[in-house]
Structure 1
Amino acid sequence: MTENKLVTNTRIVRASYANNSKVTHAQFRIEKHEDIDLTSVKPGEIILRNLYLSLDPYVRFTLNETGGDTPASYRRLNDTFYGLGIAEIVASGCDKYPVGSLVTINTGYEQYTRVSGLNDPNTQSDIRVLPAHARDESKGVPLSNYISALGMPGLTAYAGLKVLGVQPGKTIFVGSAAGGVGQLVGQLAKIQGLTVIGSAGSDEKVAYLIEKQNFDGAFNYKTEDAREALTRLAPNGIDYYYDTVGGAILDLVLELINEHGKILSVGMISQENGKGDYPIRNLKLIAVRGVSILGFIYWHHLKYFENGELDSTIRPLLERKEIVYREEVFEGIESAPEHFINMLDGEYAGKVLIKIADL
């Protein structure tokens, strides 16, 4: 008879709701449990050893007691937070997911996660099995990129530009350009022949966008007047706006965008973390100028994962250093609450990740 092999599992649980207030450490609790038995796996189950965790603004919605599109099951108190991660399968009762496979999955803010029900045909799985070359970091593409430039942020950037239908010679403005999605949007658009303008929250981020990531221009939205900056940097107007910010800057772009311009609405981070809704005043200009506003959610475009197109397009650009992708990687699952709070406050540049364990 095989002996039980229990491993201590440190996890981050939801201790309280923030609702309309700023997120603080009071919303998080760190717990340790010896409750993962690596020799006990049922049919249809896998056990994951989590390697990297992505910290994303959308998780903020799970700290609201009610409202929004977040299912109630993702908002329960005393439950483990969930977010996109990279993991290694260390035990499996499912032929489709053998031991040793690397996957990305909506996993727990924890060291080990048990996933059940995978043999049920009605189970909706978000598991993405990574290609074998994901392990190969020798060409300068770290494994962590599979939840950044080659993961959901990369998919959002790549597919978003396709939805916009960008054309060379046009001008695109990228909100929150130093973030996990924006930095890639700008570089891909530049490769496609567009003039690229971005906004960011510090002079250091602005300099990085221009000097390292090939943006044609950028401005610090905290210290510069956005109207003056956009008029100066885009003298021929804005043709496309890749919007993850919403609020006042969206209102301004509606004034400045060219006739038949297009806006991709991906998120509204200006109205998250306890900030109220912003009343858009310039909606009449949509009709006056024939502007299109297109909604975007990444799971409508998973085909670019499934057919390998995202990997085959973006990975060579990363290997050849034609795209410079900026990550901020912090060590240890216990550090997740602090860095999640700082991420919401805009303190970091690039994609924010927690490294939980070595491969």
Structure 2
Amino acid sequence: MTSSLPSPSIVSNTRIVRASYANKSGVSLANFRIEHLPDSIDLNSVQDGELILRNLYLSLDPYVRFTLDETGGGTPASWRQLNVPFYGLGVAEIVASGHPKYPVGTLVTINTGYEKYTRVSGLDDPDQPSDIRVLPAHARDESKGVRLSNYVSALGMNGLTAYAGLKQLGVQPGKTIFVSSASGAVGQLVGQLAKKQGLYVIGSAGSDEKVAALLSEQHLDGAFNYKTESTRDALQRLAPKGIDYYYDNVGGFVLDTVLELINEHGRIVSVGMISQENGREPYPLRNLSYIARKGVHIFGFIYWHHLQYFADDSVDNTIRPLIESGEIVYRESVFEGIENAPEHFINMINGKYAGKVIIKIADL
């Protein structure tokens, strides 16, 4: 079955491709190339089992940095090819469909291209499981303060990561949790959800402005600037009874310090390694012996292991009402134009933005 929008049938595309590897160097604009492709997408050309997407919002995420490393940092080779578009989580509208499950006009989130239009194929291939999430009808309704862009942030991968990571830790009220990168795309949700669950929450961030927001907007119990105060001193000051849980977004020396300070039977979920990205050398952990000495549990986290929380609507049902009521404040930095994605990606991995970084490609 093939269907498509009646007009126009042929549209132009603009995409961002991987021009070169950064490897151990910092990422620069030279690693990206902007390609304008006039009249390159024929909506009537969609085949059975294919979709053509009109991309609306694109999430910029630190893990994409690994695809600019020729050796990959553990990412599949298919993610690191030169002269092909970068990929990231996006909100898109289906504008041509060759699959009865996904009609034209459906809003989805999917791992889509850094481009205006993306062709998706292989939907009937059992060896290529689909990462398409069909959004609920109310995703179109922005009248209650929930933006469509939230579906690649607070109600998307970041929301799932925050929600499921706390589930994995098995947090209990009255305990103390430390959240690193607490003003980031995931961390800002973790801190606020943990407060809702009755925990004493401490967060770290990289500027005084971000620390102030953690205290005044997100109402954490304590926060510090890791660039101006040592993590050890700050945690001893803010958590005199020790740390029970650590939600780790950064790894490196912060993880090493927490291993020394965490309470017996403490729990750590390893979600991100920001400190090890952008070509930095791996940090040699020195305090691993505390894992055995204190009976510490460390859990590795990969978001696609927890997609059941999308399937059963747990993320949407839990977080959306809190955003609508204003009980959760979620900071997004939304920038216009796919052509500007490289500049904002570089700024993001260099820590220049607070909250979630998103590119708006088109209006709904």
**Is 1:9 paired with 2:13?**
yes
Q: Is the 8 A contact 1:46 1:92 kept in 2?
A: yes
Q: Deviations over 1:62-118 (max 9, x none)?
A: 101114321111111100000000000001010011000000000000000010111
Pick from 299, 302, 312: which aligns with 1:294? 299
Deviation of 1:240 (Å): 0.4
Which residue of 226, 239, 246 maps to 1:241?
246
| Letter of the structure 1 residue corresponding to residue 349 of structure 2 | L
Corresponding residue of 1:130: 135
Shift of 1:228: 1.2
1:107 counterpart (104, 108, 112): 112
**Distance (whole Å) between structure 1 residues aligned to residue 105 and residue 137 of structure 2:** 11
Alignment of 1:65-84 (within 5 A): 65-84=70-89
| Matching of residue 36 in structure 1 with residue 41 in structure 2 | yes
Give 1:182-221 correspondences, 5 Å limit. Answer: 182-221=187-226
Counterparts of 1:44-55 in structure 2, within 5 Å, are: 44-55=49-60
Letter of the structure 2 residue corresponding to residue 179 of structure 1: G
Give me the whole-angstrom Cα distance separating, in 2, the residues matched to 1:117 and 1:227.
Answer: 50
| Number of the residue aligned with 1:24 | 28
Q: Which residue of 1 aligns with 2:290?
A: 285
Partner of 1:269: 274
228-237 or 189-198, which deviates more: 228-237
- CA shift, 1:7, in A, is 1.1
Which amino acid is 1:321 matched to?
Answer: G
CA contact (8 A) 2:59 2:88 kept: yes
Q: Secondary structure at the match of 1:146?
A: helix
3-state DSSP of counterpart to 1:68: helix
Could you tell me which residue of structure 2 aligns to residue 144 of structure 1?
149
One-letter amino acid matched to 1:13 = V
- Give unmatched runs, 5+ long, in structure 2: 1-5
Show the 5 A alignment for 1:162-201.
162-201=167-206
Match of 1:161 in 2: 166
8 A contact 1:45–1:115 mirrored in 2: yes
CA contact (8 A) 1:49 1:112 kept: yes
1:214-229 matches, cutoff 5 A: 214-229=219-234
- Paired residue secondary structure (2:33): strand
**Following the alignment from structure 2 to structure 1, what is the Cα–Cα distance between the partners of residues 78 and 122?**
16
Alpha-carbon shift at residue 4 of structure 1 (Å)? 7.7
| 8 Å contact kept, 2:72–2:80 | no
How many angstroms does 1:5 deviate by? 2.4
Which runs of 5 or more structure 1 residues have no equivalent in the other structure?
none
Kept in 1: contact 2:195–2:201 (CA 8 A): yes
One-letter identity of the residue aligned with 1:48: L
Once residues 4 and 291 of structure 1 are traced to their aligned partners in structure 2, the CA distance between those partners, rounded to angstroms, is: 59
TM (normalized to structure 1)? Answer: 0.98
1:351 has 2:356 as partner: yes
> How big is the shift at 1:169?
0.3
Aligned to 1:232: 237
Q: 2:308 aligns with which of 293, 298, 303?
A: 303
**Secondary structure of the structure 2 residue equivalent to 1:224:** coil
Q: Residue deviations 1:168-196, cap 9 Å, x none?
A: 00000001000000000000000000000
Name the aligned partner's letter for residue 218 of structure 2.
Q
Distance 2:206 2:60 in 1: 18
Q: CA RMSD in A?
A: 1.1
Range moving further from structure 2, 269-278 or 30-39: 30-39
The answer to whether the 8 Å contact 1:4/1:40 transfers is no
For 1:237 and 1:123, locate their aligned partners in 2 and report how far apart those are by CA, in whole Å. Answer: 46
Q: Secondary structure at the match of 1:84?
A: strand
Structure 1 residues 3 and 201: alpha-carbon distance in aligned structure 2, compared to 1, 3 A threshold: closer
Deviations 1:316-337 (A, max 9, x none): 1111111111100000001100
Deviation, 1:307, is: 1.0
1-structure distance, mates of 2:127, 2:175: 45
The percentage of counterpart residues that share the same residue type is: 76
Shift of 1:119: 2.3
Q: Counterpart of 1:214 in structure 2: which amino acid?
A: H
Aligned residues: 358
Q: Is the 8 A contact 2:50 2:120 kept in 1?
A: yes
Instruction: Work out the CA distance in 2 between the residues paired with 1:60 and 1:241.
Output: 24
